Structure 1
Amino acid sequence: MLNRRKWSFDFLQVDKTPSKRRSLIILNQPFTLELFLRLWDATDWRCCADGGANRLFDLLQQTAKAHASSERVIDGPCDFLPDLIKGDLDSIRPDVRDFYASKGVPVVHDHDQNSTDLMKCVVEVQTREAQQSEQNIIIILGGLSGRLDQTIHTLQLLHKLRKERSDVYAVTDDNIGWVLDEGSHIIEIDHSIVGKTCGLLPVGIESTMLTTEGLQWNLTNTESSFNGMVSTSNAVVASEVLVSTTKPIFWCIVLAPRQG
């Protein structure tokens, strides 16, 4: 029997007890309060990548003014203080930086111009892990929308991290994605969390041979490449999706519409 890697994104389930430590990295891209609260509650350490602090601050300020949350009372940014803000600090606004600094949140200026703000935050997670002797699940809030160059960077970083980390996910209000390394995989599908539309994207490789089960349009030892076939707009039709790939491939699936 094949040795298949099992995947579950149960951190998107409400009130799910975590099996591992989880770190959240908030990027400088828009996100909704509902998704933010779900990921904040699912993680035990949170970091804003430079301008991600602006996004967090503004969302909580707007929510407090509008009293928009029906599930919990939010008085403002004081209710959700990140553990760290890190980057080259060219995006964070002075008022946001001053606010968080006044609340005791470390604001770290990393001058390394050869690494992005996201990379700087990943290094911080790795530093903490060395002290804990335990690898965290990394959840990136953002990174798959907005500027194309930043999206490609997210895909590249996940591709590179696959050899040294077991779980790195990128999540937006539209979808969740991660890299399936070469080999066989089982992806558990919970349709209270995700919808049906999915894709298998050959990013960072010349080509791969794919075999799948559980999709509307399954592949059987089919070559996938940017010069040939790419499985986009596919659909999940089972409670599990099986993927076998000869090279790493990026898997993505839409999030289910918010109920209510």
Structure 2
Amino acid sequence: MSIWSTPFLRRNQAAKTSKFPQESKYALIILNQPFSTPLFRQLWDASEWRCCADGGANRLYDLEGIVDKRECFLPNLIKGDLDSARPAVLEYYGSKGVAVIHDRDQDSTDLMKCVAALTEIETRENVQYDLIILGGLSGRLDQTVHTLSYLHKLRKQRNRVFAVTDESVGWVLDTGEHTIEIEHNALGPTCGLLPVGIGGTILSTRGLRWNLSNTPSSFDGMVSTSNHLVPGCDQVWVKTSKPLWWTAELRPF
């Protein structure tokens, strides 16, 4: 049984204690996609290591509400092929001591390069962070599909990887049983179970408005989109025969 929770989205960090306590350290990778200042601040404050993937540095530098406070929001690293980050932005962060790495590898994306850098740090520190990716689920379709594909593969390498936008949060549930703790002040009401990258799966759920019982799900058949979380129900249980994406609507900060 895998236990999932999203304390990094909790508005009041002291408001609720998980029934399944776990010591988590979070790493944040900022992609080159739009995001709001409130969401950014929430994820930045929850993270201990922060990285910009190439043009994500522009997004951070230009972010409304922190322009006069940039020195308070210095990432640990900027990495990528640096074809999107503006020279003035790289010069600014470099002058503040931020590591800027130009990786010319054409066989990996900027996101993949940042994850590789994080993995090197984890090896040295003998620790694994839970990874939060800010962006990746909106914008260009090819980039969105890459995020879906890459996180599908990462499930075998990392314990927990979350993709977050202003509209939703999502992650991959591997084959087996999962309990998802629901932060109702952060999530909902809509949610979905998406059979992406697989031929199909057999799904069972509890804690949703429209539950499934050994139900086949595939792109050629039923897909559980626009399902609903149940008010007052703090857990969702999912059993799946193949890996699939869980996604929930994110309430505005």
TM-score, structure 1 as length reference: 0.91
Structure-2 change in CA distance of 1:200 and 1:98 (3 Å): same
Name the counterpart of 2:199: 206
Name the counterpart of 2:100: 107
Name the counterpart of 2:145: 152
For residues 50-83 of structure 1, the C-alpha deviation after alignment (integer angstroms, 9 at most, x for no partner) is 0000000000xx4256xxxxxxxxx232220000
1:7 aligns with 2:4: yes
Pick from 221, 237, 241: which aligns with 2:236?
241
Does the residue aligned with 1:192 lie in a helix, a strand or coil?
coil
Name the counterpart of 1:63: 65
For 1:257 and 1:40, the matched residues in 2 are separated by: 16
1:133 aligns with 2:130: no
Amino acid of the structure 2 residue aligned with 1:189: I
For 1:241 and 1:170, the matched residues in 2 are separated by: 19
Aligned identity (percent) is 59
Structure 1 stretches lacking a partner, 5+ long: 66-74
Q: CA deviation at 1:229?
A: 0.8
Listed as ranges, the matches of 1:223-242 within 5 Å are 223-237=216-230, 238-242=233-237
TM-score, structure 2 as length reference: 0.93
Q: CA deviation at 1:210?
A: 0.2
Q: CA deviation at 1:192?
A: 1.0
Structure 2 stretches lacking a partner, 5+ long: 15-21
The range that moved more, 5-14 or 105-114, is 5-14
Q: How many equivalent pairs are there?
A: 244
For residues 176-225 of structure 1, the C-alpha deviation after alignment (integer angstroms, 9 at most, x for no partner) is 00000000011111111111100000011000000011111111101111
Name the counterpart of 2:154: 161
For 1:234 and 1:13, the matched residues in 2 are separated by: 22
Amino acid of the structure 2 residue aligned with 1:175: S
RMSD (CA atoms): 1.3
Name the counterpart of 2:81: 88
For 2:101 and 2:135, the matched residues in 1 are separated by: 21
